Amino acid sequence: MKQLKTLFIAIVMFFGAQSVSAQTKVGHIDVSALMSTMPAMKAAEAQLTKLKESVDAEYKKLVTEYQTKAAQYQKEAETAGDLLNQTRSQEMQQFGERIQKYQDDATKSLQDKSIELQKPIMEKAQAAIQKVARAKGIQYVLDSSMGSGVLLADGIDLLADVKKELGY
């Protein structure tokens, strides 16, 4: 009798858990696809491209100046004295360090600008995703972008609804 009672409780708990999990709605959205279609993201990418081009132009200018000086100093090395050659060597080393620092600072600046530009766009997309998911009664939304870890996305795809919510 006691075993029957335990079995009955286990069956009730099993089916109760099944009905609870059956009520949970899960949706998915390819956030990368959403972000790439947003006009604000395209504008941000254009702004970053323009900034990167100006940084690259300045970097190339510094490298050309370095190479020109290096060639000139190498050509004059035999006729210049040891003290002058040593001074020029230190100058070239400092110039190389300055170029490296410029490149490091520019890379960090570009990353910071990218984050600054993308943050409000991502927040807007996230708000739209939450609004659409709540309207559809979905409790969990997974990112189905390539490499996100989602192996199967047979649930409700929210991409079209979120685009509509955002106005495109």
Rounded average pLDDT per 10-residue block, the chain, 168 residues = 53 54 79 92 96 96 95 87 90 96 96 96 93 91 82 76 87
pTM over 0.85: no
Q: What is the pLDDT of residue 144?
A: 87
Q: Which parts of 77-140 fold into alpha helices (H)?
A: 82-135
Helix (H, G, I), strand (E, B) or coil at 107: helix
Q: What is the pLDDT of residue 25?
A: 86
> Is 63:106 a contact under the CB 8 Å cutoff?
no
Q: What is the pLDDT of residue 76?
A: 87
CATH of 25-166, one of 3.30.910, 3.30.1050, 3.40.140, 3.30.750: 3.30.910
Q: What is the pLDDT of residue 19?
A: 47
> Is 129:141 a contact under the CB 8 Å cutoff?
yes
Q: Report DSSP state, residue 136.
A: T
Q: What is the pLDDT of residue 150?
A: 67
Q: What is the pLDDT of residue 52?
A: 97
Query: Within 10 Å of residue 74's Cβ, how many Cβ atoms?
Result: 12
